Amino acid sequence: MAAPPKTRSWSWRSKAFRGVLYQVIALGLIFAAGTYLFSNTLENMRARGIKSGFDFITQPAGFAIGESVIPFDSSESYAKAFLVGLSNTIRVSVAGIVLATIIGTLVGVGRLSRNLLVRTLCGGYVDLLRNVPLLLQLFIWYFVLTEMLPAIDEALRPLPGVFFSKNGLQFPLPAAAPGHWGTFGGFVIGLIGVWGWRRWVRARHEATGQAPMFWLPALVILAAVTLLGWWLGGAPTGLDVPEKTQINVIGGGAVTPEFLTVLLGLTIYTAAYIAEVVRAGIQAVPYGQHEASLSLGLTRAKELRLVQLPQALRVIIPPMTNQYLNLTKNSSLAVAVGYPDLISISNTSLNQTGRAIECISIAMACYLTLSLLTSVLMNWYNRRAAIKER
């Protein structure tokens, strides 16, 4: 016989009912306290003649931003200024996350190396950089990039068309042309092809026990399809190459010393923590897996790639998410070296308008949104990487 359907009991004896009631009461108290604090703050501000509200958002900002992905003029609104600051924060955070993950993974694996020199160097990297405050590291990198590099008229040229000096890094960029849309489309299709190749490799591995080579064919697929899209788009070859004048370098792409300072500081500092996360994740894999790999004749590289890292991901991903969140929030220290990130724009707007609560609220909302998006993406990846029990 089928079990009788469960019925909700709305009596005080029901544990579920009491739990819901307690939560409703707690939310009500929090809402009441927030309402009181908000109304009390507004009343005190009115008594002191302090203006409040977000009406300043549409007013002209009246200040310039030294570095921005989005074109900005001082006559444009505060809203766009905040958008520029947010874009600068996202730019340095995303680049820092990618680079810190690569460096941290290599250092973490190096800490488990059988080579004494490699193991010692990686351990020294972690011990040194984890124990030096990030703000101090930013000041050190800023001093190196602005004081120890040569002036623009004696700029270093590590590659043709590349200039590295106190003014930052200038490099060639593809000249704007309609055919680049074909290149971009080919790159996207190539990524889809790599995804399909990865699925086939995994299915082949599960069916036969043999793991076909993945990375080299994947790179060939991506490069071939991208080149095909470039050729179908008319094969544009124009480059916007920086040119040195008597007082400056013009043309091409450029990043400022402030951006490089923040990127280097965040990357190198966070990579030290990621290295420990990777090391701990690999060591959390039972030693029997290592012995089983040896019995199958796997090399150290294949053991790491096929046996240890897939199992270590379930331990690595949650603390790795925390490091990504820390890197994003630590980017607010960029204001110390003059990089115009979200906090810098917020401080300038606050000083000009006097709307402290509003400017701080906008910054808080932006960082909260970035943190929640990062958490959602990493939780999704964590579910995909989790070991499926049969």
Q: Which helix (DSSP H) or strand (DSSP E) does residue 282 occupy? A: helix 257-283
The answer to whether residue 338 scores a pLDDT higher than 80 is yes
pLDDT digits (tens, 9 = 90+) for 199-252: 888 888 778 877 777 778 888 888 888 888 888 877 777 777 777 777 777 777
Q: Write down the pLDDT at residue 271.
A: 95
Q: Write down the pLDDT at residue 133.
A: 93
Q: How confident is the model at residue 139 (pLDDT cuts 50, 70, 90)?
A: very high
* 285 belongs to a structural domain: yes
Q: How far apart are CA 339 and CA 258, in angstroms?
A: 5
* 63 belongs to a structural domain: no
The answer to whether residue 365 scores a pLDDT higher than 80 is yes
* 297 belongs to a structural domain: yes
pLDDT digits (tens, 9 = 90+) for 310-330: 888 888 999 999 999 999 999
Q: Which amino acid is at 191?
A: L
* 152 belongs to a structural domain: yes
* 171 belongs to a structural domain: yes
Contacts of residue 152, defined as CB under 8 A and 6 or more positions apart, other chains included, come to 163, 165, 166, 167, 244, 247, 248, 249
What single-letter DSSP state applies at residue 285?
Answer: S
Q: Write down the pLDDT at residue 126.
A: 93
Nearest to 101 by CA among 303, 282, 323: 323
Q: How confident is the model at residue 7 (pLDDT cuts 50, 70, 90)?
A: low
pLDDT digits (tens, 9 = 90+) for 149-186: 888 878 888 888 788 888 888 888 777 777 777 888 88
Q: Write down the pLDDT at residue 226.
A: 87
The length of the chain is 390
Strand pairing class (168-171; 163-165): antiparallel
Q: How far apart are CA 74 and CA 154, in angstroms?
A: 33
Q: Write down the pLDDT at residue 197.
A: 86
The tokens describing 244, both together, are 């040195």
Q: Write down the pLDDT at residue 33.
A: 93
pTM of the model: 0.81
The answer to whether residue 6 scores a pLDDT higher than 60 is no
Q: How confident is the model at residue 277 (pLDDT cuts 50, 70, 90)?
A: very high
What range defines the domain where residue 124 resides? 78-175+238-385
User: Which CATH number do you get for residue 364?
Assistant: 1.10.3720.10
Q: How confident is the model at residue 122 (pLDDT cuts 50, 70, 90)?
A: very high
pLDDT digits (tens, 9 = 90+) for 69-107: 888 888 889 999 999 999 999 999 999 999 999 999 999
The answer to whether 314 and 145 have CB atoms below 8 angstroms apart is no
Q: How confident is the model at residue 3 (pLDDT cuts 50, 70, 90)?
A: low
* 112 belongs to a structural domain: yes
Q: How many domains does the chain have?
A: 1
* 365 belongs to a structural domain: yes
Task: Report CA dihedral (252, 144, 267, 87) to the nearest 10 degrees.
Answer: -50
* 189 belongs to a structural domain: no
Q: What is the largest CA-CA distance in the chain?
A: 92
Give the mean pLDDT of 378-385: 85
What single-letter DSSP state applies at residue 304?
Answer: I
